[in-house]
């Protein structure tokens, strides 16, 4: 027992001191946070203002600067969980396939006869004039327009399924392709949401995929979930379509290949536009808030070369006609083409406020979402509530700590003091670990820490009670302590492993704040076992060596 190798002693001290250094930034939270922000701002090449430099120099560079992240419930902010309507993409894919299929069939008009599209949901239908050739048509489309799906699960499947129904060819998306498409849709959606939130300049947003078709967005410091939804809730699908005519009612027959879209401006009624867009939003390279010749807010945009060429050709051929600027199925404006627009840039005027035009510019720059989003959960936590929770948590933690410390000294005297020293290091190490792994501290997480305070002394209580028993059996101090540690170990390990199992399961199954609680609980178990067994042991050994007491009282 008294034999405690030097390397072990040194290692324990090193761990404790390292823990102290890494936990320290959290004691100066605001200062370190401002330092980190200043460093990040300066790294982007921002001018060196006195404020920035002062903030940077307030915390020395050689010190660690990682902090425990404060969760949304402590910092305040917006939380939104959305579901991506992945199935919407299927129809788009089928629509995109139609021109190629039509051209293939029409190229062999002598075999198939006339080819007429039929309106249908979630499938593509076409009637051919020559019904006897239907099998040939199916075979041709399958050969020319379907490809094997490249995925693990869909081995052997093709992306589209083609079948015949009477004189109609029906093309649907295969299940394997749907799964592959869903995944692409999710990745795209995540990317677009991330770009939009970043464009809005919010700090440290969390954007995570959850499950098959959900996205969790958390933005600390944002005023409300509604603000966040303005940014991410819209699909922002922009297109420039040819206007066929204006109508008063949405019930009129638009004619084949056309559709009726409402205007956002009241009193303008409805527009019949060609379904196939001239240019789409994904051909934009930039969008900015501008002002039109009357000084009203507008959104200026620039096309890429393909977009510029298409738009130029269309405007050149249709001078004097209307074209519609369509956003998410609504016509936001329908200007008359005055001259050919060849430069590849233009301006969208509408009845915008400056704020709205800024938002639209962000949406257009970030790109359209591949599918619309359904909001499942929205939460807003005001910063005051978060601060209250931190304040209350701090007071509770201090009171709990003092209570446990006093109680331990009353019960175990000097040994209680050793245990308290270990307890203090337990908290320090816990904060150091949380900072190093960049964990997020939530309100239940604070509860986890306070709970750890109470439970951390358990290992020491086990050891001390054991030592007491051995002393009663007439063992000398050194021998009693040795046996005490030895015999208590299996109980400590078994007891803590079981709690750890519960923490791990909480972590795997839980979400949000519950997960944060699991992390602090789990790490708290590890640090408490370390400090209770090794730190107190080291102290006890040092005490025995220094004083060589004949009797001890535990």
Partner 1 sequence: MRLKLVPTETKIDFFKRGYITMGLSAVLAVLSVVAFLTMGLNYGIDFKGGSVIRTATPAPVAASVYRDVLSTLELGDFTVTEVKDPGADLTDTNRNAVMIRIEQQSDIPETQNDIISEVKAALGNEIEGISFLQTDSVGAKVSGELVVAGIEAVVLAVLAVLFYIWLRFEWQFSLGAVAALVHDVVLTIGVFAAFQIEFNLSIIAAILTIVGYSLNDTVVVFDRVRENLRRFKAKPLRELLNMSINETLSRTVMTSVTTLLALVALYVLGGDVIRGFTFAMIWGVIVGTYSSVFVASPILLRLGVKRDWDKDNGAAGTQYANIDA
Query: Judged by CB under 8 A, does residue 229 bind partner 1?
Result: yes
Q: How far is the CB of 363 from partner 1 (least distance, A)?
A: 19
Q: How far is the CB of 227 from partner 1 (least distance, A)?
A: 12
**CA angle centred on 30, ends 453 and 193, rounded to 5°:** 95
Nearest Cα neighbor of 285 from 338, 333, 346 is 346
Question: What distance in Å separates the CA atoms of residue 399 and residue 535, rounded to the nearest whole number?
Answer: 23
- DSSP, collapsed to helix, strand or coil, labels residue 143 as helix
DSSP string, 448-480: HHHHHHHHHHHHHHHHHHHHHHHHHTT--HHHH
Q: Give yes or no for a contact between 246 and 258, defined as CB atoms under 8 angstroms apart.
A: no
Q: How far is the CB of 73 from partner 1 (least distance, A)?
A: 8
Query: Judged by CB under 8 A, does residue 472 bind partner 1?
Result: yes
Q: How far is the CB of 445 from partner 1 (least distance, A)?
A: 10
Among 172-180, 315-323, 364-372, 507-515, the segment contacting partner 1 (CB under 8 A): 507-515
For 79, residues 6+ apart whose C-beta sits below 8 A from its C-beta are: 72, 216, 217, 218, 219, 225, 377, 378, 379, 380, 381, 512
Q: How far is the CB of 510 from partner 1 (least distance, A)?
A: 7
The token pair at 77 is 């902010």
- For residues 433 and 503, which CB has a smaller minimum distance to partner 1 in the complex? 503
Q: Which residues of 199-215 are buried (b: 16+ CB within 10 A; e: fewer)?
A: ebebeebbbeeeeebbb
Q: Which residues of 76-94 are buried (b: 16+ CB within 10 A; e: fewer)?
A: bbbbbbbbbbbeebbeeeb
Nearest Cα neighbor of 517 from 502, 507, 530 is 507
The token pair at 504 is 């791990």
Question: What x/- string results for residues 392 through 421 when contact with partner 1 is judged by CB under 8 A?
Answer: xx-xxx-xx--xx--xx-xxxx--------
Query: Judged by CB under 8 A, does residue 517 bind partner 1?
Result: yes
Taking CB under 8 A as the criterion, which residues in 518-537 touch partner 1? 518, 521
Q: How far is the CB of 506 from partner 1 (least distance, A)?
A: 5
Number of residues lying near partner 1 (CB under 8 A): 77
- For residues 243 and 449, which CB has a smaller minimum distance to partner 1 in the complex? 449
Question: What distance in Å separates the CA atoms of residue 519 and residue 437, rounded to the nearest whole number?
Answer: 10
Q: How many CA atoms lie within 13 A of 143 on its CB side?
A: 8
Q: How far is the CB of 16 from partner 1 (least distance, A)?
A: 22
- For residues 311 and 485, which CB has a smaller minimum distance to partner 1 in the complex? 485
For residue 489, count CB atoms less than 10 angstroms from its CB and return exposed for 0-12, middle for 13-18, buried for 19 or more: middle
- For residues 122 and 498, which CB has a smaller minimum distance to partner 1 in the complex? 498
The token pair at 552 is 């001890």
Question: What distance in Å separates the CA atoms of residue 238 and residue 434, rounded to the nearest whole number?
Answer: 44
Question: What x/- string results for residues 339 through 378 when contact with partner 1 is judged by CB under 8 A?
Answer: -----------------------------------xxxxx
- For residues 164 and 264, which CB has a smaller minimum distance to partner 1 in the complex? 264
Query: Judged by CB under 8 A, does residue 384 bind partner 1?
Result: yes
- For residues 190 and 455, which CB has a smaller minimum distance to partner 1 in the complex? 455
Taking CB under 8 A as the criterion, which residues in 93-122 touch partner 1? none
Q: How far is the CB of 376 from partner 1 (least distance, A)?
A: 5
- For residues 341 and 400, which CB has a smaller minimum distance to partner 1 in the complex? 400
Question: What distance in Å separates the CA atoms of residue 208 and residue 223, rounded to the nearest whole number?
Answer: 20
- For residues 214 and 237, which CB has a smaller minimum distance to partner 1 in the complex? 214
Taking CB under 8 A as the criterion, which residues in 58-87 touch partner 1? 73, 81
Helix residue ranges per DSSP H, 200-330? 225-232, 305-317
From the list 313, 437, 497, 542, which residue makes contact with partner 1 (rule: CB under 8 A)? 497
- For residues 12 and 467, which CB has a smaller minimum distance to partner 1 in the complex? 467
Taking CB under 8 A as the criterion, which residues in 279-338 touch partner 1? none
From the list 255, 257, 343, 454, which residue makes contact with partner 1 (rule: CB under 8 A)? 454
- For residues 175 and 465, which CB has a smaller minimum distance to partner 1 in the complex? 465
From the list 502, 545, 547, 548, which residue makes contact with partner 1 (rule: CB under 8 A)? 502
- For residues 194 and 487, which CB has a smaller minimum distance to partner 1 in the complex? 487
Q: How far is the CB of 549 from partner 1 (least distance, A)?
A: 17
């Amino acid at each position: 027992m008294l034999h405690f190798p030097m390397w072990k002693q040194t290692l324990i001290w090193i761990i404790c001191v390292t823990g102290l250094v890494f936990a320290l930034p959290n004691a100066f939270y605001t200062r370190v946070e401002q330092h980190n922000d200043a460093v990040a701002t300066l790294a982007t090449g921002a001018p060196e203002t006195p404020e920035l430099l002062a903030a940077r120099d307030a915390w020395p560079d050689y010190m660690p600067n990682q902090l425990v992240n404060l969760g949304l419930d402590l910092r305040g902010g917006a939380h939104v969980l959305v579901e991506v309507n992945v199935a919407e993409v299927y129809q788009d894919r089928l629509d995109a396939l139609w021109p190629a299929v039509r051209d293939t069939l029409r190229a062999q008009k002598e075999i198939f006869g006339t080819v007429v599209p039929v309106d249908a949901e979630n499938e593509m239908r076409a009637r051919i004039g020559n019904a006897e050739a239907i099998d040939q048509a199916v075979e041709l489309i399958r050969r020319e327009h379907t490809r094997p799906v490249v995925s693990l699960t869909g081995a052997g499947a093709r992306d589209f399924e083609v079948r015949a129904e009477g004189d109609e060819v029906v093309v649907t998306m295969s299940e394997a392709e749907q799964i592959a498409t869903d995944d692409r849709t999710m990745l795209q959606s995540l990317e677009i949401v991330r770009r939009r939130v970043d464009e809005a300049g919010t700090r440290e947003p969390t954007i995570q995929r959850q499950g098959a078709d959900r996205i969790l967005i958390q933005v600390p410091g944002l005023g409300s979930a509604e603000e966040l939804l303005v940014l991410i809730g819209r699909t922002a699908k922009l297109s420039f379509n040819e206007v066929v005519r204006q109508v008063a009612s949405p019930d009129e027959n638009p004619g084949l290949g056309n559709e009726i879209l409402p205007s956002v401006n009241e009193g303008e009624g409805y527009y019949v536009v060609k379904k196939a867009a001239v240019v789409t939003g994904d051909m934009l390279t930039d969008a900015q808030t501008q002002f039109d010749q009357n000084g009203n807010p507008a959104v200026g945009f620039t096309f890429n070369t393909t977009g510029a060429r298409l738009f130029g050709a269309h405007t050149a051929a249709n001078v004097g006609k209307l074209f519609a600027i369509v956003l998410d199925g609504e016509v936001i404006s329908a200007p008359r083409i005055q001259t050919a627009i060849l430069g590849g840039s233009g301006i969208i005027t509408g009845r915008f406020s400056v704020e709205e035009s800024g938002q639209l510019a962000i949406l257009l720059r970030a790109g359209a979402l591949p599918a619309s989003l359904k909001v499942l959960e929205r939460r807003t936590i005001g910063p005051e509530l978060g601060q209250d929770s931190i304040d209350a948590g701090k007071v509770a933690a201090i009171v709990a700590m003092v209570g446990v410390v006093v109680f331990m000294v009353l019960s175990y005297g000097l040994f209680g003091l050793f245990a308290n020293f270990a307890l203090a290091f337990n908290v320090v190490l816990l904060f150091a670990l949380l900072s190093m792994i960049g964990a997020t501290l939530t309100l239940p997480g604070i509860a986890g820490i306070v709970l750890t305070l109470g439970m951390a002394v358990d290992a020491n209580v086990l050891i001390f009670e054991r030592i007491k028993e051995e002393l009663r059996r007439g063992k000398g101090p050194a021998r009693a302590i040795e046996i005490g540690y030895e015999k208590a170990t299996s109980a400590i390990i078994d007891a803590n492993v079981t709690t750890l199992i519960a923490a791990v399961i909480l972590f795997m199954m839980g979400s949000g704040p519950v997960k944060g609680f699991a992390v602090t609980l789990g790490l708290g178990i590890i640090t408490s076992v370390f400090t209770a067994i090794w730190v107190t042991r080291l102290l006890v050994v040092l005490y025995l060596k220094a004083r060589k007491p004949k009797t001890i009282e535990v």
